Amino acid sequence: MKLSPAVITLFVATTEAFTVAPTGHGTSKINMIINGETETASEKVASVFSKLPEENAVVDKLVKTNFPGAISNKDLATRVVELLGEKGFKPSNTLLATSLCADELARELEDEFVEIYGNNFNLGGLSGFPFAGNTGFGAMAAHIPDDGFCLVIHGPHVGITKEGQVGKVERSGIALVDNCCGSAIAASNYLKGITDGGATITPKIQQFTDFQQGAVQELILPFGKRLGRAENRMRELPYALYDSQEALVTDIVNTGKGGIKKGLAVLGGIQINTSPDTLDYFHPLKFDYYDSDGNVVENMLPYLK
């Protein structure tokens, strides 16, 4: 999939508020602080997931049937930490940066890695698109510890209910089984209205007060036929979004790779949110390692499968 230079230029020029997120979020399955001064990254992984639900065999089968290649967040964190540890990544010398959706469910994965590596630099917005752009990536790179590393995690998310309905998910404290991802589904409906010929003509193509959603809708336009032909539109939707985001993330990283210090790891994929009492999952689609000169020197994706 190719995005037009105009779209990429407009997108990466956008600069949102570049805040470093503190550890712990009230809505997360994690609500604790680990003393990072005395624990290795692997020990932190064990501590993080000891507080979370055990793997549910029924949910595990359900997720992996709908999303072949998905692994639990626990398995993901264990393998990522092991691989990066071999390259010198430690909690004390690594900055975490994420481009994930604004939805609180996207904080699950983020919080788990925050508990391992420390504070997070937020690059993302609705649907997981990297709305911080080049400016945000440059600011983030300046915060990487001297002679240190950066781990970037990016991607859209999708929900799945206990009954196996994709695009919906149970949320804590809410009786309604809700859409997930709401932004992605709204963009999909917008696109369907265009491809089906039922879209309402409006001069308000972009509004500053809803700029991010407008951008998501524009960035999904190239996938009309693909989604229209999909056996399960909701299951295909996050993969279409990922392909769009991957083009943007790659462009942003290549533009800002001069800010890489000792090394950069980029992990991309699909977050899969489940009910509050079960583990979340992730389908890894990319895991590249860049050296200090900004060259991709290793594809680590096979080691996550």
Q: Map residue 170 onto helix, strand or coil.
A: strand
* Calpha distance 207→215 (Å, rounded): 10
Task: Spell out the residues 6+ positions from residue 239 whose beta carbon is closer than 8 angstroms to its own.
Answer: 270
Task: Grade residue 11 by pLDDT with cuts at 50, 70 and 90.
Answer: low
Residue 205 confidence class, pLDDT cut points 50, 70, 90: low
DSSP E strand stretches across the chain: 20-21, 71-72, 94-99, 120-122, 149-154, 157-159, 168-171, 174-179, 263-273, 281-290, 296-299
List of residues 6+ apart from 39 with CB closer than 8 A: 47, 91
* 285 CB-contact burial (10 Å; exposed 0-12 / middle 13-18 / buried 19+): middle
Q: What is d(CA 304, CA 286) in angstroms, rounded to the nearest whole number?
A: 10
pLDDT in tens, 155-193: 999 999 999 999 999 999 988 898 999 999 999 999 999
> Which letter, b or e, does each residue of 252-266 get, where b requires 16 or more Cβ atoms within 10 Å of its Cβ?
bbeebbebbbbbbbb
CA 127-20-71 angle, 5° bins? 50
Average model confidence (pLDDT) across the chain: 88
Q: What percent of the chain has pLDDT over 90?
A: 78
Summarised one tens digit per residue, pLDDT across range 260-300 is: 999 999 999 999 999 999 999 999 999 999 999 999 999 99
- Answer whether 276's CB lies under 8 Å from 171's CB: yes
CA 284 from chain center: how many Å? 10
> Of 2-16, 70-84, 98-112, 120-134, which range is least confident?
2-16
Would you call the peptide bond into 101 cis, given omega within 30 degrees of 0 as the criterion? no
Q: Which residues lie below 8 Å from residue 178, measured CB to CB, with a gap of 6+? A: 159, 168, 169, 170, 171
What is the per-residue pLDDT for 208? 79
The SS3 of residue 121 is strand
Q: Which residue, among 22, 225, 27, 267, has the nearest Cα to 128 in the 3D structure?
A: 267
- Average confidence (pLDDT) over 24-44: 57
Per-residue model confidence as pLDDT tens digits over 52-82: 988 899 999 999 999 999 999 999 999 999 9
**Please, are residues 104 and 25 in contact by the beta-carbon 8 Å criterion?**
yes
Which tokens hold the place of 203?
């001069």
Asked if 270 contacts 285 with a C-beta cutoff of 8 angstroms, the reply is: yes
Segment 141-150 mean pLDDT = 96
Tokens of 294: 């900004």
Q: Does residue 20 register a pLDDT over 90?
A: no
Structure tokens at 197: 């010929």
